[in-house]
Amino acid sequence: MSERKVLNKYYPPDFDPAKIPRMKLPKNRQYTVRLMAPFNMRCATCGEYIYKGKKFNARKEDVENQDYLGIRIYRFYIKCTRCLQEISFKTDPRNTDYEIEAGATRNFMALKLAEEQAIREEEEAKEEEANNPMKLLENRTKQSKNEIELLESLEELKDLNRRQQVVDYDTMLSAYDTSIPEREREEKLKQLDEEYIKTIKFQSNQKRKLVIEEEIIEENFGEPHLKTLKSGSPNSFTATETSESLITTDNMPNTTSAGVSWSKNLGKLGIKKNSSLVRLVKVKKS
């Protein structure tokens, strides 16, 4: 079986490429190429608009006896999409553009016309300066005047820069720098606070005494709570014990036989004579 894709061909030992007959082609042969319209144009026969970028199967040939600095100039033939009128245009290497020849007219291009007008004005100005010495002198005086104005403005800017050199922009930027981490910023603030505290002279520390005023409220004996003690201090308490827990004459032992006075019993119970609890005890009448 032969190869599906022929990569190697057999050449016999007596092969001579000079003996191969050559085709006789015309000197200016036309090739079919695929291209897009290089500019907007309008057909001269039917008035159809052909926009830039429309694709055509065109015929390409060399323009005889025309070149620009050794660069070949090519001609293209296309057909109108509506009336099949043939339109021809060729390359323009001098202006890096295309030039319409027959079959259509190129649409107005403001940018191209403005560029051409600017080039023409420059050429006319150069010719006028070359032919008229007074015009050349006027242009030179204008140029020197513009240079003096530029130098003055440059000196003003230099003076302004000298004045602004007093300001230290590095310290300003470092003060408002957001890239510093929060921890370093907090440490700096703490350090500044400590330094400020050290600069302040405080008064000598004196011990202060708090006086707590006690207020005694007497209640009726008929109520379950006999006495209530109030004070403004946080350690104040309220005596809410019942009559059984308080010292009464009913619960007191009979110490008359032993010859012990009532005052001694108060001492034994741990109640001082001068304390306010002495008034809570009521002596039972015999």
Query: C-alpha angle 249/254/256, rounded to 5°?
Result: 110
118 is in an annotated binding site: no
92 is in an annotated binding site: no
Query: C-alpha angle 258/260/263, rounded to 5°?
Result: 165
Q: Which residues pair with 277 in a beta bridge?
A: none
43 is in an annotated binding site: yes
83 is in an annotated binding site: yes
Q: What is the DSSP letter of 153?
A: H
Whether the CB-CB separation of 63 and 74 falls below 8 Å is answered with yes
Instruction: Record the tokens describing residue 154, joined without a space.
Output: 């440059």
> Cα dist. 258→202, 220, 251, 252, 264 in Å?
67, 33, 17, 13, 12
Residue 41: CB atoms within 10 A of its CB come to 24
Q: How far apart are CA 118 and CA 183, in angstroms?
A: 64
Instruction: Record the tokens describing residue 76, joined without a space.
Output: 């293209």
Helix axes 133-164, 110-131, angle to 10 degrees: 110
The residues, ordered by sequence, that sit 6+ positions from 68 with a Cβ below 8 Å of its Cβ are 93, 94
Locate all alpha helices (DSSP H) within the chain, ordered by sequence.
110-131, 133-164, 169-175, 182-199, 262-268
Q: Which residues pair with 266 in a beta bridge?
A: none
Q: Which residues are annotated as a binding site?
A: 43, 46, 80, 83
Q: Which residues are annotated as a binding site for Zn(2+)?
A: 43, 46, 80, 83
